[in-house]
Amino acid sequence: MFWIIGIVVTFGSVAGGYAPHGSFAVLFQPLEFLIILGAAAGAFLQANPKWVIFGFLKSFGKLMKGAPYDKKAYTELLTLLYALFKLSKTKGMIALEPHIENPHESELFQHFPAFSKNHHAVDFVCDYLRLMTMGTENPHELEALMDQDIETHHSEGHAISGAVTSLGEALPAFGIVAAVLGVIVTMGSIAEPPEVLGGLIAAALVGTFFGIFVAYGLFSPMGKNLEQFSDADGKYFECIKQGLLAHLQGYAPAVSVEFARKTLYNHERPSFIEVEEACNEAPTV
């Protein structure tokens, strides 16, 4: 939502400031746009593997939705962890197996729809609970493995945001390329009257304007937004990690959940009371 609002404000401010002094028809230069955007798209395809390209295309959905996690999402996550830890404490780790082997059919996971839609998080929780049921007991070794797992996932997210940021950095240069080509065309028409030359020069300058504008008004902010999305995703997994490690070390479910809660930023962290109330209403299976 805020991404869309930001685009409207950016484009609206530039258009509003220009409108009293010039014609928008002058700014409509399809061939300049073709040169700049086409060259940028080609460079993007050259520079990135297929999974980054498709990841970028899928990222528009993330930008439309805004921040991936809020207090409600974290409350649900902490409640899920509590339910899993409580089940493990009361019935033994073996009781978790039906849920972690088939999470999408699990009666327990179905009570937490937002979490269940995040297949990366579901796999993360199930994989490490499975390791615990298989006899993993050293928290330091498991923490090192989790850190590597989170870092890999984090790097994949940053590869996409970095590619978009690099695209934004390249667009002003492609704008200059379009402007230079426009100047070449203008020089070939040097014998034309001033009003014709003025139109050709204006068209050439639109290339520079467009390249700089979409770079700093659209693609660079988009890359930064995706970077923050990746960082938020990393914080979500860090929360899960701390809860699992506390559980592995034998803490009570409420204490393990508190370890997880303390990793969160203040603006999205539910209070102790809010988590306690949610955990008291946690489903049992």
DSSP 225-251: HHHHHHHHHHHHHHHHHHHHHHHHTT-
pLDDT-above-90 percentage for the chain: 47
Q: Enter the tokens of residue 281.
A: 């209403």
| Token reading at 221 | 């902010």
CA–CA separation, 248 and 84 (whole Å): 12
CA distance 57 to 229: 15
Q: What is the pLDDT of residues 214-241, one digit of tens each?
A: 999 999 999 999 998 888 889 999 999 9
pLDDT (average), residues 78-99: 90
Please say whether the beta carbons of 89 and 252 come within 8 A. Answer: yes
Nearest to 244 by CA among 73, 127, 70: 127
The per-residue pLDDT for 195 is 72
Model confidence over 136-189: pLDDT tens digits?
888 899 999 999 999 988 888 889 999 999 999 999 999 999 888 888 888 877
Cα separation, 281 vs 80, in Å, equals 11
pLDDT for the residue 58: 87
What does the pLDDT read at residue 16? 84
Residue 249's pLDDT is: 92
Q: At what angle do helices 220-248 and 2-18 cross, to 10 degrees?
A: 160
pLDDT, residue 285, reads 67
The mean per-residue pLDDT over the stretch 101-108 comes to 88
The answer on pLDDT for 197 being more than 80 is no
285/249: higher pLDDT: 249
Q: Rounded mean pLDDT of 63-67?
A: 78
pLDDT at 73 (0 to 100): 93
**Above pLDDT 70, what percent of the chain?**
99
**Could you give the angle at which helices 139-187 and 119-133 cross, rounded to 10 degrees?**
160
Average pLDDT over residues 52-57: 91
DSSP readout, 62-97?
Answer: HHHH--S--HHHHHHHHHHHHHHHHHHHHH-GGGGH
pLDDT of residue 207: 87
Kindly tell me if the per-residue pLDDT of 74 is higher than 80.
Answer: yes
| pLDDT of res. 72 | 93
* CA 185 to chain CA centroid, nearest Å: 42
Q: Would the CA dihedral through 67, 267, 227, 118 be positive or negative?
A: negative
> What pLDDT is stored for residue 167 in this prediction?
93
Q: HSE, CB side, 13 Å, CA atoms: give it for residue 20.
A: 3
Q: Report pLDDT digits (tens) over 2-22.
A: 778 888 898 888 888 888 877
